[in-house]
Amino acid sequence: MGKDSLTITDNRTGKGYEVPLRHGTIRAMDLRQVKTSPDDFGLMAYDPGYTNTASCESRITFIDGDKGILEYRGYPIEQLAEQGRYLETTYLLLNGELPTAAELAGWVRDVTHHTIVHENVKELMGGFRYDAHPMGMLMSTVAALSTFYPEARHVRDKAVRRRQIVRLIAKMPTLAAFAYRRSVGLPFVYPDNDLSYCGNFLQMMYRVSEARYHVNPVLERALEVLFILHADHEQNCSTSAVRSVGSSESDPYSATAAGIGALYGPLHGGANEQVLRMLKEIGSKDKVPAFIKEVKESGGEVRLMGFGHRVYKNYDPRAKIIKRMADQVFEVTGRNPLLEIALELERIALSDDYFLKRKLYPNVDFYSGLMYQAMGFPVDMFPVLFAIPRTSGWLAQWEEMLEDKDQKIARPRQVFLGPPRREYLPLEARSGAAALAVL
């Protein structure tokens, strides 16, 4: 074999193996030939949390975590955030190229005309407890959409697929706003097709009795930028969930609901909610050093939420953009008093050995919550605001997966460490030790 290979020596047997290298990876299945005897199963890779395992080849999003670079289809996130529009970005993610003016007009028209949801969805929303978390409502109603569009299960049909993608991107803000209105006891507001994607979302959230809701252009643009920043982030936890569920060829509503479930967690999309709670708990700038001390002494139990990232070992470029945009938003909304605490946390953390050694920098969630709160979104809505734009990334990744001939149903292996085969014990013969373990 040539230079593009890896030589493995199995010290158990002394045997050598040549494994081909492609794009800096080996195929895990090539390890299977490494055996101690013909009936040995063969070598596997053990990688909890997939910290060093590529599950796919992708052409959508590029991240260089050490340098703090993020690109969608080759375009730097800074340029997209400064000059682009959110729906243009969704087109780019899904199709690989920026749209022409005519393509963009067609795409915006398609999405705009699918924003309405079936009336039964309102009844579904009405069935939740008065204090239901909007993310739970969103997850359930997105899953329920599969029952409204049974054709969606024909995932191998590109035209069918594309229809569901338009529906999902279009209906997400409607469902999100409905979930919010339900949680505060306000009547649902229908979409207004004369408004932009973000402008319409804001009017569905906040319109009360005025004939026409006036969308503040600064806040509309800020939301648009936040949506662009959150649209995709390659193989993160929720995207992997979408790909994994989608790999069984279930419909995109079910796969997207799985993504929302993954995003709900405090270590992923729930983090900006946690950042706000943490800032509130700290309470004032002078209490920051004591909190940092607590984080450092807790052995990983108390975390500085909004800090650290599996991939970024540098300042998250999205956090930089949000921090820069904050002043424009606060000029309209008034300064968020928690900002002082956040800035102090960042200042101290970025000069502290604990954080520097572990390469823990602010991530996208550190400042996004402050912006959302200033814009009037309740904390419960933060993960929902993440789910709306991430839907476009999930669906671009979902479609890429379906078109990738290399992909199969996701089915990881395990290293089994449980008991070896044993005989069934009748009830009266059992000692009870296992029951205690279960409790």
Active site residues: 268, 309, 365
* Interface segment toward ligand CMC; rule CB under 6 A; list 124-132, 135-143, 218-226, 295-303: 295-303
* Interface segment toward ligand CMC; rule CB under 6 A; list 4-12, 66-74, 81-89, 264-272: 264-272
What's the number of CA atoms in the CB half-sphere (13 Å) around residue 68?
Answer: 17
Give CA–CA dist 159/161, Å, rounded.
Answer: 5
The DSSP line for 151-202 is GGG-TT-HHHHHHHHHHHHHHHHHHHHHHHHHHHTPPP----TTS-HHHHHH
How distant is the alpha carbon of residue 25 from its chain centre? Answer: 25
Structure tokens at 287: 């209490």
Q: Is there binding between residue 365 and ligand CMC (CB under 6 A)?
A: yes
Q: How far is the CB of 196 from ligand CMC (least distance, A)?
A: 26
Binding pattern to ligand CMC, positions 232-261, x when CB under 6 A?
-x--x-------------------------
Q: How far is the CB of 54 from ligand CMC (least distance, A)?
A: 16
Residue type, 434: A
Structure tokens at 332: 């309209």
**Binding residue for ligand CMC (CB under 6 A) from 63, 255, 292, 305?**
305
Q: Is there binding between residue 360 and ligand CMC (CB under 6 A)?
A: yes
Distances (CA, A) of 94 to 46, 89, 230: 33, 9, 15
What's the number of CA atoms in the CB half-sphere (13 Å) around residue 303?
Answer: 17
Q: Is there binding between residue 271 and ligand CMC (CB under 6 A)?
A: yes
Q: How far is the CB of 383 from ligand CMC (least distance, A)?
A: 10
| Binders in 174-233 for ligand CMC, by CB under 6 A | 233
Q: Is there binding between residue 268 and ligand CMC (CB under 6 A)?
A: yes
Residue 406 CB neighbour total at 10 angstroms: 8
Q: Is there binding between residue 356 and ligand CMC (CB under 6 A)?
A: no
**Binding residue for ligand CMC (CB under 6 A) from 267, 332, 356, 425?**
267
Query: Residues interacting with ligand CMC, by CB under 6 A?
Result: 233, 236, 267-269, 271, 295, 300, 303-310, 358, 360, 363-365
